[in-house]
Structure formats: structure tokens, C-alpha cells
Amino acid sequence: MFTAFRRLECKKTDIIWMILAAALLAAGMLVWWYLPVTLSVKRDISNPYFATMDQKGNRYIINEGKSEVLKISGKGRITARIAWGDHQKDCFGEADEVAVGSDGSIYILDILWNDTGLGLSGERVLKYTSDGKFAGVVFENDYTDMMIMKRHLFSLVALKNEIRFAAVDPDGKGFSTYVLKNGQTNAKRDRYISWDLADEINYVFDGSGFETSGSVKTALKGECARCAKELMVPFAHEFEERFEKNAPEDGDAYPFSGEELDLSDLVRDTILLNMENYVLCKDDCRGLCPVCGCDLNTVQCSCEQEAEDDNPFAKLKALFNEDKEV
């Protein structure tokens, strides 16, 4: 009797120890799983420059002084690492912006410097797969025979089923917007914008900078969103902005140096932030025929009727209309 009781007591003690051991093991595994990952990510992130996030909660960071792009999951794990390459076609030279398409593709705005390091030899938009593999060059500007001192590509953004960005003309008198839709391999220009400033621009110097006010007036060259007809859309918008000497790029004021104010960045931002992205040649534009591509505003094609005749539900629709008439 005593022996049986002692055996039962030992079994209970063993069970308690087993439960404690399992709990400690589970806690250890959690620490082993999360702590090294957290420490690893913190250790790998150094001198970050730019960050964005996709719809699934993945974060994308331009790291190490623009020399690599990291993709970090919502759990804090590095799932992709894209490294720079010295003037290699399938690598970026200096990552400046990142955007993520709705299909998970990663787009990097790439800046290439010439051998002197004082000017640009080119700018590109590169495409990578969701796991960081090179997928192609979707846009490229070559400045080999030009003296370009600052970047001309900017505003790389992801919208629904498309990527958009803008490129300033080398002479600084206008810029173009480009669009890359899902499934396309090359970005296409969809709008060219040149500008003029209003006759009267007000400047007030307060000792540390200039307060400026005025308006931008121009005509935006683009295409009808339905029929692709070229359009000139009038644009006018007032601005009030501040200029400070040697202001940082990410500050609230525009920088200036010397005795001149360069208003090109101000004008560009005013237009980009206030222009209409969806324009029509007329409100009732019928667009293009999806079969033959003709302009339905000027031509009445038979594709629609042929498609209706081939539709297996056409007879059912006819019966439904007959019932309504009865």
C-alpha cells in the first residue's frame, strides 16, 4: 500500500516537472525565434534613407547610405535583400526611392554617377520580383554626353495596378509623367507639362529667407483617359512657399544658394500636387472599341453587334425583353 502510494506520488512529481520543462522549452523557443530576428534586423539596419510599406504590411527600407534595399516582413524578418552594383545592368548604383506594385513587384529609382562623382551619367527605374530578383529596366535616361548635376527623376509612387513617376526636362522648363501598368515591361509617357509663371511674383525677405507668393499658369499636355486623344488642359494654381539658404531637402522650406532663387522645384510640386490625373476630351466620350480599336466618337463599328450575336446569353436577353413587353 505504501509502495503504491509512493509510486503515484513520484508520477505526479514527474508530471509537474515535465510541464515545467515544456513551459521553459516553449519560452526558450520563443526567445530564440523572436529575439535573434529582432537583433538581426536592428543590426542590419544602418543609416536608413527611405522607407515605405505595401498592403500586406511588408516594409521596404533603403539602407546603408542608399547601397541596399531591405524587405522586412510584418514579423520583423528580412525576406529579401537587394544590393547595389557598380554600373552593372542588373544592379542599382544608388537607390533613391522605392515603390511596390499591387502584384508585389519592387521598383527602385536608380541614380548613376559618372567617374568623377560630380555629375550624373544616368537615371533608371528598375524592376525586381517580390523576392528581390532582377526583372528588368522599365525606364532609363542616359546623360553620358550631358552635364547633369542633380537628379531629374522623382515621385516614384504605386497606385492601383500601376506605377507612376515623373522626369524633369534637362533644360528645366517642363517635365513628363510616366505610367507603367501591371504586365507591361516599359513605362510610357502619358503627359508632358511645360510651365510659365504669372507676371507678378511677390518676395519678402525676413532676414533668414524669402516668403514667396504667386501663381503657376500653364497648359498640361496629355491624353483622354478613354479615347487617347491628345489634349491641352489649362492649369492655374496659386502658391505660397518659403525659401531658406541651404535648407535641407526634407525640410519645410525650399533651399537656395547664391543670389538666385530656382523656382523649378516649386513649380513642379505645385503642378504635381494639384493637377487632374483623369481627364476626358468630353464628358460623354465613348472611348475606343475594345475589339478593333477604332474611335467610337467618330466611327460606328460593327464589333459590338457581332459580339452581341456571339454572346450565348443573347437569346435569353431577347426572351427577357419579350416578357417585359407583354
| pLDDT of 256 above 90 | no
3 state DSSP class of 310: helix
Cα–Cα distance for residue pair 228/208, rounded to 1 Å? 48
Phi, psi of 14 (to 5 degrees): -60, -40
Name the strand (E) or helix (H) holding 186: none
- Residues 272, 292: Cα–Cα separation, whole Å: 34
Query: Where is the domain boundary, 165, 190, 215?
Result: 190
Highest mean pLDDT among 96-105, 186-195, 237-246: 96-105
Tens of pLDDT, residue by residue over 151-169, are: 888 889 888 888 989 888 7
Please give the C-alpha separations between residue 250 and each of 21, 109, 110, 286, in angstroms, as whole numbers.
53, 18, 19, 44
The structural domain count of the chain equals 4
- In this structure, how many other beta carbons lie within 10 angstroms of the beta carbon of residue 51? 14
Domain that holds residue 320: 288-326
Q: Do 207 and 277 lie in a common domain?
A: yes
Pair 120, 4 in one domain: no
Cα separation, 11 vs 174, in Å, equals: 84
Statement to judge: residues 61 and 172 lie in one domain: yes
35 and 55 both lie in a single domain: no
Confidence of residue 5 (pLDDT cuts 50, 70, 90): very low
Domain boundary, last residue among 173, 190, 207: 190
97, 103, 104, 108 alpha-carbon torsion, rounded to 10°: -20
Q: What are φ and ψ of residue 271, in 5° steps? A: -70, -50
Confidence of residue 172 (pLDDT cuts 50, 70, 90): low
Q: What's the pLDDT score for residue 204?
A: 82
Q: Where does the pLDDT of residue 34 fall: very low under 50, low under 70, confident under 90, or very high at 90 and above? A: very low
pLDDT at 109: 92
pLDDT at 205: 79
Q: Tell me, what's the pLDDT at 106?
A: 94
> Is 297 found in the same domain as 177?
no
* Residues 157 and 100 reside in one and the same domain: yes
Say if residues 215 and 202 touch (Cβ distance below 8 Å). Answer: no
Rounded alpha-carbon distances, angstroms, from residue 317 to 290, 302, 304, 305: 22, 19, 15, 14
What CATH number is attached to the domain comprising 137? 2.120.10.30
The answer to whether the beta carbons of residues 73 and 58 sit under 8 Å apart is: yes
Q: What's residue 303's pLDDT? A: 79
Q: How many CB atoms lie within 10 A of CB 325?
A: 5
Reading the block at residue 231, the C-alpha cell is 489634349
Same domain, 69 and 186: yes
Determine phi and psi for 12, rounding to 5 degrees: -65, -40
- pLDDT band of residue 126 (cuts 50, 70, 90) is very high
Average pLDDT of the chain, as a whole number: 78
Global pTM reads 0.58
More confident residue, 53 or 204: 53
Which of 186, 167, 50, 71 shows the shortest CA–CA distance to 127?
A: 186
Q: How many CA atoms lie within 13 A of 306 on its CB side?
A: 8
Give dist(CA 145, CA 102) in Å, integer. 37
Nearest residue to 111 (alpha-carbon basis) of 76, 57, 148: 148
On whether both 172 and 222 belong to a single domain, the answer is: no
pLDDT for residue 66 is more than 90: no
Closest CA to 78 of 122, 42, 120, 129: 42
Is residue 54 over pLDDT 70? yes
Q: Report the SS3 class of residue 61.
A: strand
Rounded mean pLDDT, 171-188? 83
What's the whole-number mean pLDDT along residues 217-237? 81
The alpha carbon of residue 28 and the mean position of all alpha carbons in its chain are separated, in whole angstroms, by: 41
pLDDT of residue 26: 64
Domain final residue, candidates 152, 172, 190: 190
Identify which of 5-19, 61-75, 121-135, 197-211 has the greatest average pLDDT.
Answer: 121-135
Residue 33: the pLDDT is 44
Q: Give yes or no: residues 12 and 30 share one domain.
A: yes
Regarding whether 236 and 209 lie in a shared domain, the answer is yes
User: Is residue 36 over pLDDT 60?
Assistant: no
Q: Over 60: is that where the pLDDT of 214 sits? A: yes
| Res 1: pLDDT | 45
Asked if residue 1 and residue 97 are part of one domain, the reply reads no
Domain identity same for 178 and 266? no
Q: Is 279 helix (H, G, I), strand (E, B) or coil?
A: coil
